[in-house]
Structure 1
Amino acid sequence: MSPSIGLLVFPGIQILDLAGPYEVFRAVPDATLHLLWKDRAPVMSAGGLPFAATATFAEAPALDVLCVPGGAGVNRLMTDAAVLDFLRATAARTPWLSSVCTGALLLGAAGLLRGRRATTHWNSHDFLAAFGAEPVDQRVVRDGNLFTAAGVTSGIDLALAVVDAAVGRERAEEITLAFEYAPQPPFAGGTLKQAPPAAIAAARERYAASRREREAIVASLRA
């Protein structure tokens, strides 16, 4: 199999949401990867890293896998007709659909989560129900051909799960070993259940402005 894999890119993307899956997918032999956006002009990640798409929406080839990362730029895209139309059209003809972090909100805004189990970053998890999804508190959730992942670093887990389903367990296991993917974080505070109260408060404050904006967007979409 020589899979064709597309990853949505956009201004304000969380670069780890993109880089983790990209590297896993790139490790699949003969895979062709496409960074997809409206045009090829440079875009800036949320952290200030510039990069450019390799294909426009109009140029996008047939895909075996579509992956939608998240990031602060998602807020703007939830009401962007061109992006949502592209996601709907591409999902309709793509065997495997996936999202990382708040990329799930884009799938939701495109109507692609209705009646399906899904997850996303903890600070946006409660928005999933507004899009007709069944929220699941899990790092990676599979519902048929749909894979969604929780926040940021879970993009690696998601991509490995997609490789397992689309290419095969042997390849997914080989990539896991090649990447020496055996996380041992120095602090056991990577989830709301594990984190100390001070860390939760600080993280909520960090995301407060973006969340307020997101709340208003989701409310308008529901209306």
Structure 2
Amino acid sequence: MTEAPFRVLFIIYPNMTQLDFTGPHQFLTRLPNSVTTIASPAGGDVKADGLVFAQTVPVAQVAGCDLVCLPGGAGATEVSQDQDFLAELRRLAAGSRYVTSVCTGALILGAAGLLRGKRATTHWAWQDLLPLFGAIPVAERVVRDGNLITGGGVTAGIDFALTVMAEIAGDEAAQMVQLGFEYAPAPPFDSGTPETAPAEILRRYQVVQRRMAPKRRAEAEAAAARL
């Protein structure tokens, strides 16, 4: 008897950061004997970072999955206000072998009540929001706690995907895909974390972050209050 394929589900939404999704998607679609579904709260076309992802499946129509992944983005705390969507996410997570996120997708998992008492990570700029959902923030690229696997900000999604691939298909399968995609990071600047970025660059980024912070915190607090 042929083994049933491993079912990967990405749930995307408007104002998502596309690399949070497309980076892991590029890798996880190479899982042996797997199928990948792209869903969204309403189904249909989803606008994200200047790209449109077409013909997504309404999340309510997805019967189940083995791995569910939530990417992050500016719309993460907005979609976390949708109680019908969060109910569908809880349903799918309950039947999944792995519950996962990249970047601020962790805040969506938190809004669904899936982070209580769990170690988790997200983009460094928003880790202070994780405790609102009962999570224990960990400043690492990839964090695992039981069947929960969370990735840090944006590009950490590739490290996350390789970690997941190794877990499901073994280290050799993950390394084969890494080699095929020539994933050998050698950035021209050592400016990818607050600890390594030049002080002026960090200051300027934080000015931008502070513009977003009141709305995002208010939405996160509203979602947390409903738990």
TM-score (norm: length of structure 1): 0.94
- Partner Cα separation in structure 2 for residue 199 and residue 53 of structure 1: 39
Q: What amino acid sits opposite 2:124 in the alignment? A: W
**How big is the alpha-carbon RMSD for the aligned residues of Structure 1 and Structure 2?**
1.4
2:32 alignment partner in structure 1: 29
Any gaps of 5 or more consecutive residues in structure 2?
none
1:139 alignment partner in structure 2: 141
Q: How far did 1:212 drift? A: 1.3
Does residue 161 (structure 1) correspond to residue 169 (structure 2)? The answer is no
On the 8 A contact 1:37/1:53 being kept in 2, the answer is: no
The total of aligned residue pairs comes to 222
On the 8 A contact 2:6/2:34 being kept in 1, the answer is: yes
TM-score (norm: length of structure 2): 0.93
1:120 alignment partner in structure 2: 122
Does residue 20 (structure 1) correspond to residue 14 (structure 2)? The answer is no
Q: How far did 1:179 drift? A: 1.0
Any gaps of 5 or more consecutive residues in structure 1?
none
- Partner Cα separation in structure 2 for residue 196 and residue 212 of structure 1: 25
Q: How far did 1:72 drift? A: 0.4
On the 8 A contact 1:9/1:53 being kept in 2, the answer is: no
Does residue 8 (structure 1) correspond to residue 11 (structure 2)? The answer is yes
Q: What amino acid sits opposite 2:11 in the alignment? A: L
On the 8 A contact 1:117/1:143 being kept in 2, the answer is: yes
164-173 or 92-101, larger mean C-alpha shift? 164-173
Structure 1 runs of 4+ off > 2 angstroms?
38-41, 205-210, 218-223
Percent identity, please: 41
Does residue 150 (structure 1) correspond to residue 172 (structure 2)? The answer is no
- Partner Cα separation in structure 1 for residue 87 and residue 224 of structure 2: 18
Counterpart mapping for 1:43-54 below 5 A: 43-45=46-48, 47-54=49-56
Counterpart mapping for 1:1-223 below 5 A: 2-45=5-48, 47-223=49-225
The one-character-per-residue Cα deviations of 1:135-170 (angstroms, maximum 9, x if unpaired) are: 101010011111101100000111111111122222
Pick closer, same or farther for the CA change 1:91–1:209 going to 2, 3 Å: same
Pick closer, same or farther for the CA change 1:206–1:53 going to 2, 3 Å: farther
Q: What amino acid sits opposite 2:66 in the alignment? A: D
Q: What SS class does the counterpart of residue 61 from structure 2 fall into?
A: coil
On the 8 A contact 1:43/1:51 being kept in 2, the answer is: yes
